[in-house]
Copies of this chain bind each other. A is one copy, B any other.
Amino acid sequence: MIGQQRSFGRRVLLAAIRQNSPIARIDLSEQTGISRATVTTVTAELIRAGLVEEVAAQGTEMARGRPRVDLKIRGAAHLVAGIKIANSSLSLVLMDFEGNQLAEHSHVLSKTTLGTEALVEELAGALGDMLTPLGKSVSDLSGVGVGIAGIVDVQQGLVHWSPSLSDRNINLRSAIDTALGVPAFVDNDANLVAMAEKSFGLGREATDFIVVTIESGVGMGIVINNEIYRGTRGCGAEFGHTKVHLDGALCRCGQRGCLEAYVADYALLREASVTHAGAGALTGETDEQRIEALLQRAHDGDPVAGNIVLRAGRMFAMGLANIVNIFDPQLIVLAGERMQSNHLYAEEVIAGIKDSIVQVDQSPPEVVIHRWGDLMWAKGAAAYALEGVEEMAVEALRAGEI
């Protein structure tokens, strides 16, 4: 149940090399507490296996003594893909073992909700579309990471329910495994952004942090002790349905007082619709455009619009402060792709958090904003695949498959 601690050294050293990218053996020894002798032995093995490579001298050339030789992950060792299954599309990235993005692709789904077989088929098709221009094929991949909205049992690769799947309780992992002939790693998409931040983003330096995303809903990913925390039922952290008001505004989920019911787009438009600044009066065809108009009005000094936006920001700050009071993380990353969520990231909101958390001598956690594009989700999925492939590679080493 506890699992083997075998290959502990290989695992730790490979992870340390990945984290600190170009790093000399002596620093690895320092960092990990593993003796220099063992570092030499193990890294030699990793190099022989093709997972790691030496790189030419680093920047500082002036040192006395024997120059250190930096090590890094060997990108060419493996190829992985990351796929995010969104509402009506797939976004894909191709990544090498070092985490370099080699290609990206997007694919429009034929339907919003698909059967398992049809979904896997579209997935395989999209993968092929990304790979063939590069002269690669699916069989060149060592792993595929897949992120999907819904309730996912990561351990088993089971999707209990998802808006993208018409079937329930599907083992998506094994379905993809067998269809593609490539190991698949499936996770709830709420965790993808946390994974992406941990692997490639602002969370690289932190061991305990929280990522909050605002898209159509409000999502959260939790990293504790350098690992994604998934809760026990695997339905992810439902920050958006955290209650911020007893018997408050009605939420899409049917309950009252959810944070989402105050800060999501639909919540802002609902408020706007009942005032003289009514939603009808807001120019714009789409909701996005109307939100844009509302924010513009607030910015221009319209008191009603300003009031709407202000309350949303204050509610958001309150929700975040609660997270801080409970978790006390090193870092909170506010991540999102859409500029219109800008108002929630305003300086006043961040200041509001600091006013609502328990005051101690130490400084409050850092709150940073990370604005990124659509691809971050797919990158997070790829990071999952990388983690899995790394694990498999170490296991293969242990089993003596050179």
Contact with B along A311-350 (1 / 0, CB 8 A): 1001100100111011111100000000000000000000
**Residue in A12, A34, A232, A359 with the greatest tally of chain B CB atoms within 10 Å:** A232
In contact, A245 and B243 (Cβ under 8 angstroms): no
Instruction: Decide if A1 is an interface residue (CB 8 Å cutoff).
Output: yes
Query: Besides the contacts A2-B31, A326-B326, what 4 more A-B pairs have beta carbons closer than 8 Å?
Result: A160-B361, A238-B357, A241-B358, A243-B321
Report how far A32 CA is from B225 CA in the complex, Å: 22
Report how far A16 CA is from B3 CA in the complex, Å: 13
Instruction: Decide if A255 is an interface residue (CB 8 Å cutoff).
Output: yes
Contact with B along A343-379 (1 / 0, CB 8 A): 0000000000001111111100100000000000000
In contact, A232 and B208 (Cβ under 8 angstroms): yes
- CB closest chain-B residue, reference A208: B232
Report how far A5 CA is from B5 CA in the complex, Å: 8
State the interface size on chain A (CB cutoff 8 A).
62
CB of A42 to closest CB in B, whole Å: 13
In contact, A237 and B326 (Cβ under 8 angstroms): yes
CB of A125 to closest CB in B, whole Å: 31
Instruction: Decide if A239 is an interface residue (CB 8 Å cutoff).
Output: yes
Residues of A within 8 A of B (CB): 1-5, 8, 12, 16, 31-34, 151, 160-161, 208, 220, 222, 224-225, 229-239, 241-246, 253, 255, 257, 311, 314-315, 318, 321-323, 325-330, 355-362, 365
**Residue in A5, A314, A315 with the greatest tally of chain B CB atoms within 10 Å:** A5
* Chain A interface, DSSP helix/strand/loop, else mixed: loop
In contact, A12 and B2 (Cβ under 8 angstroms): yes
In contact, B235 and A328 (Cβ under 8 angstroms): yes
| CB-contact partner of A220 in B238, B314, B326, under 8 A | B326
Report how far A325 CA is from B258 CA in the complex, Å: 11
In contact, A151 and B360 (Cβ under 8 angstroms): yes
Q: List 26 A-B contacts (CB under 8 A).
A: A1-B31, A2-B16, A2-B31, A5-B8, A160-B360, A160-B362, A222-B326, A224-B224, A225-B225, A230-B328, A231-B328, A231-B329, A232-B329, A232-B330, A233-B362, A233-B365, A235-B360, A235-B362, A237-B325, A238-B328, A238-B357, A239-B326, A243-B318, A245-B246, A246-B315, A255-B355
| Copies assembled | 2
| CB-contact partner of A360 in B1, B2, B233, under 8 A | B233
Report how far A245 CA is from B244 CA in the complex, Å: 6
Report how far A238 CA is from B360 CA in the complex, Å: 11
Report how far A356 CA is from B245 CA in the complex, Å: 11
| CB-contact partner of A32 in B2, B224, B235, B253, under 8 A | B2
Report how far A97 CA is from B12 CA in the complex, Å: 33
Report how far A255 CA is from B246 CA in the complex, Å: 18
Report how far A152 CA is from B329 CA in the complex, Å: 16
CB of A326 to closest CB in B, whole Å: 5
CB of A322 to closest CB in B, whole Å: 5
- CB closest chain-B residue, reference A150: B360
Residues of B within 8 A of A257 (CB): 318
**Residue in A2, A241, A326 with the greatest tally of chain B CB atoms within 10 Å:** A326
CB of A100 to closest CB in B, whole Å: 26
In contact, A235 and B358 (Cβ under 8 angstroms): yes
Report how far A365 CA is from B233 CA in the complex, Å: 9
| CB-contact partner of A328 in B8, B233, B322, B362, under 8 A | B233
| Given contacts A8-B5, A232-B365, A246 and B314 within 8 Å (CB-CB) | yes
- CB closest chain-B residue, reference A262: B246
Report how far A323 CA is from B238 CA in the complex, Å: 10
